[in-house]
Every structure is written in structure tokens, then in C-alpha cells.
Amino acid sequence: MPCPLCGHEKTYKHGKTSKGSQRYRCLNCKQTFTSTFDTIYYRRQVSFEEVRIVLQSHCEGTSLRGISRISGLSYNTRVSLIRAASQKAQLVHNGEV
């Protein structure tokens, strides 16, 4: 797994986080990171499935209150997930165009 911070190819396992996720350490920049670093899942206490449900419901045009009823997440969590996904999509779009 290449380092997402400096791009160095050589990383190694460096223990686990308190939640049980594998932590990695770069030999070049000496930084630690997880596999979800720089994604919308990074440092979220929401499961992958809940994130998928929120984003899929938003894409289908469901209101934010409707998403709350479906997912059981608070308003701020839903808005934060949608904004993070929007920012990542904008970065991908700008990189491709």
C-alpha cells in the first residue's frame, strides 16, 4: 500500500487503532495512517452501510428528513456525509476535466 501523504511505495503495518482498524506507517515520512485515510469514511463513527444508505437516498432525491427516518442518523451527520461526498466528487471531476 503506497503512502497517501508522500506517495512512497514502502509502508508497513504499525499496530491497530482503538476501533480495530489496521494502522500503517510510511518509512519515508514516518507518518501513520489507516486504509480509509482521505476518504469519506475516515474518522467517522458510522458504518459503511449507513453511509451508502444516506448517499443513495440523497441521490434518489429523498429529503433530509426522509433520510433521517430511513437511516436513524442525526441531521448534522447526514449533512456532513453529503458535503464530504460532494467535495470528493468535485475533486475527482476537476482532476478528470
For 47-87, write each residue's pLDDT tens digit: 888 999 999 999 999 998 899 888 888 899 999 999 999 99
Residue 52 placed within a domain: yes
Q: What is the pLDDT of residue 25?
A: 93
Shared domain check, 62 and 25: no
Q: What is the pLDDT of residue 56?
A: 93
Q: What is the pLDDT of residue 3?
A: 87
Give the whole-angstrom CA distance, residue 92 versus residue 97: 9
The total domain count for the chain is 2
Nine-digit cell at 25? 506507517
Residue 62 placed within a domain: yes
pLDDT in tens, 9-56: 889 899 998 778 899 999 899 898 888 887 887 778 888 889 999 999
Shared domain check, 90 and 65: yes
Q: What is the full DSSP assignment across the chain?
A: ---TTT--S-EEEEEE-TTS-EEEEETTT--EEETTTTSTTTT--S-HHHHHHHHHHHHTT--HHHHHHHH---HHHHHHHHHHHHHHHHHHHHHH-
Shared domain check, 59 and 86: yes
Task: Decide: 58 and 75 in contact? Cβ < 8 Å.
Answer: no
Residue 43 placed within a domain: no
Residue 75 domain boundaries: 48-96
Q: What is the pLDDT of residue 58?
A: 92
- Cα 56 → chain centroid: 15
Residue 57 placed within a domain: yes
Shared domain check, 53 and 92: yes
Shared domain check, 34 and 52: no
Strands 32-34 and 11-16: unpaired
Residue 9 placed within a domain: yes
Nine-digit cell at 45? 463513527
Q: What is the pLDDT of residue 48?
A: 86
Shared domain check, 28 and 56: no
